[in-house]
Amino acid sequence: MKNFLLLLKREFRLFFKDTTLLSVFILAPIIYALLFGFVYREGKLKNLPVIVVDMDNTPLSNQLIDMINDNEKLKVVETKYNNIGTNDALLEKKAVLVVVIPDRFEASMLQKKYPEVNTYINTTNLLTANIATQGLQATLGTFSAGISIKSIEKTGKNSTYAASQYEPFKVNYIRLFNETANYLSFMWPGVLAVVLQQVLLLGMAVSFSREYENNTFNSELLGHTHSAFTAVMVKVLPFWIISIFILAIYYMFHFIFKAPIPTPLTSYAISTSLFIMAVSFLGVTFSAIITNSLRATQILMLIATPAFIIGGYTWPMEAMPGGVRFLANIIPLTPFLNIHKAMLFQHAELHQLTGDLKHLILLLIIYSITAFLAVKIRMMIGIRKQSSKSE
């Protein structure tokens, strides 16, 4: 126990002595949390720029333009009366949509000739394009319904009858969980988990490889202990303790940015602890095997960088090839984000998430075994070298 405490004290001293590691592990999560929090703070996209080409310029076409402008998702930044130079205007105004109202639009509507309103969608950014299109579809649907109902009313029917003829049955769309479709609620927690994984892997990448480079593995570490368990635990414990501090700051930031908090907190604490341990042992495994800290860092970052994209958080894993799914499933972030998302939005409890929980525990067991084995083998090699030198 005395040796364990001495090694733990030594590890904390090494950690706080390394200013680069200190800034990466403590400052980076805070800075990134604030940065991404402010990026997604609005939660919703509003006032997306729209150009309207009104080739009719009648009361009815003007009414349609007003309705487009009244939609909170859209903002008419320019109204043109001919279709000349529209592409240039699209680039200059950075517009997401161009709505072209044809000539004789009002006359065709009154004569029930069904004129065509063409919409050109700037799909450079798919997110803004989809949101703007949804907003326009809602506006055009309301406008079309209003015109149809008025036409029926002109035949002498009352408004209730006219509405029932236009819409023979009602469709109710009920949002569950992220009811407001708030993008901050969706993206920010996932990004924070990615940042935490990255800094943990960066920290653990140099845990043993730095000892090899400084020639302290044999001279100092083996001088205090020959136990792989002790050696691994003194390396990971400082990071686990400081992770509590980082998670506490994350928790506070949820109130600052008014983001939802996973509930219940005990389930969140358990799943997050398993995630931190699994990531730490993954980092130790590579750090113990690879003697060069830079190379160990590069390999771990190569594994971790695509984790968020391939983990199924924003794009379903079912749509990915088998090889990509396999890679995603060996990264602890994948099951953790599945658990995290279910607890965050659906308020699920751990007993309802046994599949992902078992997946995370399995990765923890595998990487802890590989970490202890890798360090044990390194220790055996080091002890043999010491024995051969003494002889």
Q: Which of 335, 331, 340, 339 is nearest to 367 (CA)?
A: 331
In a domain, 171, yes or no: no
Q: In the predicted model, what is the mean pLDDT of the chain?
A: 83
Q: Of 102, 136, 166, at which residue does a domain stop?
A: 166
| Whether residue 109 sits in one domain with residue 70 | yes
Q: Which residue has the higher pLDDT, 236 or 217?
A: 236
Residue 175 tokens read as 């949002």
| Whether residue 293 sits in one domain with residue 204 | yes
Task: Answer yes or no: are the C-beta atoms of 216 and 293 closer than 8 Å.
Answer: no
3-class SS at 293? helix
| Whether residue 239 sits in one domain with residue 383 | yes
| Whether residue 198 sits in one domain with residue 143 | no
Residue 70 tokens read as 């009244």
Rounded Cα distance between 66 and 55, Å, is 15
Q: What is the DSSP string of 233-285?
A: HHHHHHHHHHHHHHHHHHHHHHHHTT----SSHHHHHHHHHHHHHHHHHHHHH
Token pair 């009815």 is at which residue? 60
Q: Which residues are CB-contacts of 100 (< 8 A; sequence separation ≥ 6)? A: 52, 53, 55, 83, 117, 118, 119, 120
pLDDT at 284: 93
| Whether residue 322 sits in one domain with residue 228 | yes
Q: In total, how many domains does the chain have? A: 2
Pairing status of strand 118-121 against strand 48-54: unpaired
Give per-residue pLDDT as tens, 128-166.
Answer: 888 888 888 888 877 777 766 566 555 556 555 545 555
Alpha-helical regions (H) of the chain: 2-17, 19-22, 28-39, 59-70, 86-93, 105-110, 126-153, 159-166, 183-205, 209-213, 216, 222-224, 228-256, 265-289, 293-304, 307-310, 322-329, 333-346, 354-390
> How many other CB atoms sit within 10 Å of the CB of residue 331?
22
pLDDT at 275: 95
What's the average model confidence in pLDDT over 332-342? 90
- Binned at pLDDT 50, 70 and 90, residue 358 comes out as very high
- Binned at pLDDT 50, 70 and 90, residue 286 comes out as very high
| Whether residue 199 sits in one domain with residue 151 | no
The angle at the Cα of 236, spanning 299 to 313, to the nearest 5 degrees, equals 55
In a domain, 340, yes or no: yes
Estimate the crossing angle of helix 183-205 against helix 333-346, to 10 degrees: 150
User: pLDDT over 90 for what percent of the chain?
Assistant: 18
| Whether residue 161 sits in one domain with residue 32 | no
Backbone conformation region of residue 112, classed left if phi is above 0, alpha if psi is from -120 to 50, else beta: left
Least confident of 21-30, 115-124, 358-367: 21-30
pLDDT at 368: 95
The pTM of this model reads 0.79
Token pair 């499933």 is at which residue? 329
In a domain, 134, yes or no: yes
Q: Which residue has the higher pLDDT, 82 or 274?
A: 274
> How many other CB atoms sit within 10 Å of the CB of residue 390?
6
In a domain, 377, yes or no: yes
Q: Identify the domain containing residue 67 by its residue range.
A: 48-166
| Whether residue 72 sits in one domain with residue 19 | no
Alpha-carbon Rg of the chain, whole angstroms? 30
- Binned at pLDDT 50, 70 and 90, residue 168 comes out as very low
In a domain, 175, yes or no: no
In a domain, 173, yes or no: no
pLDDT at 169: 41
Least confident of 48-62, 152-166, 241-255, 277-291: 152-166
Backbone conformation region of residue 85, classed left if phi is above 0, alpha if psi is from -120 to 50, else beta: left
